Chains A and B, each alone.
Chain A
Amino acid sequence: MKAYFGRRYMVSASHRLHTDALTAEQNRAVYGKCNNPHGHGHNYVVEVLVGGAVNPETGMLIDMAALDAVVNDKIVARFDCQNLNLDPAFARDVPTTENLSRLVFGLLKDKLPAGELECVRVEETENNFFEVFDA
């Protein structure tokens, strides 16, 4: 029987929304206070939703400790308490939460200990979040 297991992780990181494709003035116009040269930070919530068959012997579809190990290794260790703009993945892409959620999906997609990655949701604040269903 197919079900879904969801787990939420917190990543605190800083970023600055800025692209070299635009002038300084255009960057300020597009990104507003998110373009502050010194950056700013968020407590991001990364929600990982995994789909798969529930094992009748355990009643579980994934070993949560194994999922935690993968997400902590691939996501939390890489981004927590870091400046996203300095991550190689954002050498060209702007570290918007749209781009971050797509990046997280790609980093986890083939690394799960069981099941299929159904959705990655990244909450930037309590009032805005982004969901990705494919990389």
Chain B
Amino acid sequence: MIFLTRRATFSASHYYWNEAWSAEKNEQVFGRCANRNGHGHNYTLEVTVAGEPDPVTGFVVDLKWLKEVMEREVLARYDHRHLNLEVEEFAAGKMIPTTENIAIAAWRRLEPAVRAAGGAQLSRIRVYETPEIFAEYRGEA
């Protein structure tokens, strides 16, 4: 099994807020991240797929194809957007756009496309919020 990773970057704004809580509790739990005016990051998305190299092409997947899938499924929706206001899965308080949840949401967007292509399977999504902070999701329950 070979693990292949492609990296891409996107810039987006967000804030942390649980609609079920009081303003006071949100500020206590989330601190500066609860500022409703939002703040932003240069995120790095790392997508790892696993599989055996094709005997003819030697590819686990075509990296150009993977790049296009990442752009279509994730970057086109997240890049230069306010995640809380403009991205369906986070809008109206459905899911707080923490780094953990962004990794899970990116998995949900990418996994069907990778599976539909046949061959390789999605192995891991890693999202860097800053170079020092990241979250990853491996499809576990």
The residues of A with any CB-CB pair to B shorter than 8 Å are 1-9, 49, 54, 57-61, 64-65
Find out whether the CB atom of A7 lies under 8 angstroms from the CB atom of B100: no
Asked if B74 CB lies within 8 Å of chain A CBs, one says no
Question: Nearest-CB distance from B84 to chain A (Å)?
Answer: 11
Query: With A4-B136, A58-B16 given, can you name 9 additional A-B contacts, CB distance below 8 Å?
Result: A1-B137, A2-B141, A3-B140, A6-B134, A6-B136, A8-B131, A57-B20, A59-B16, A59-B95
Chain A residues near B101: list those with CB within 8 A.
54, 59
Roughly how many angstroms separate A40 CA and B10 CA in the complex, as a whole number? Answer: 39
Given known contacts A58-B29, A59-B95, A5 and B100 CB-to-CB distance under 8 angstroms = yes
Residue of B nearest to A62 (CB): B100
Roughly how many angstroms separate A52 CA and B137 CA in the complex, as a whole number? Answer: 10
Question: Nearest-CB distance from A54 to chain B (Å)?
Answer: 5
Given known contacts A8-B132, A57-B20, A64-B133, A3 and B103 CB-to-CB distance under 8 angstroms = yes
Find out whether the CB atom of A54 lies under 8 angstroms from the CB atom of B104: yes
Find out whether the CB atom of A4 lies under 8 angstroms from the CB atom of B135: yes
Chain B residues near A49: list those with CB within 8 A.
136
Chain A residues near B115: list those with CB within 8 A.
none
Question: Nearest-CB distance from A4 to chain B (Å)?
Answer: 4
Find out whether the CB atom of B140 lies under 8 angstroms from the CB atom of A60: no
Residue of B nearest to A4 (CB): B136
Asked if B123 CB lies within 8 Å of chain A CBs, one says no
Given known contacts A3-B135, A3-B136, A4-B138, A58 and B18 CB-to-CB distance under 8 angstroms = yes
Asked if B61 CB lies within 8 Å of chain A CBs, one says no
Chain B residues near A65: list those with CB within 8 A.
31
Question: Nearest-CB distance from A109 to chain B (Å)?
Answer: 19
Question: Nearest-CB distance from B51 to chain A (Å)?
Answer: 22
Asked if B96 CB lies within 8 Å of chain A CBs, one says yes
Asked if B98 CB lies within 8 Å of chain A CBs, one says yes
Roughly how many angstroms separate A1 CA and B140 CA in the complex, as a whole number? Answer: 7
Roughly how many angstroms separate A54 CA and B97 CA in the complex, as a whole number? Answer: 12
Residue of A nearest to B132 (CB): A8
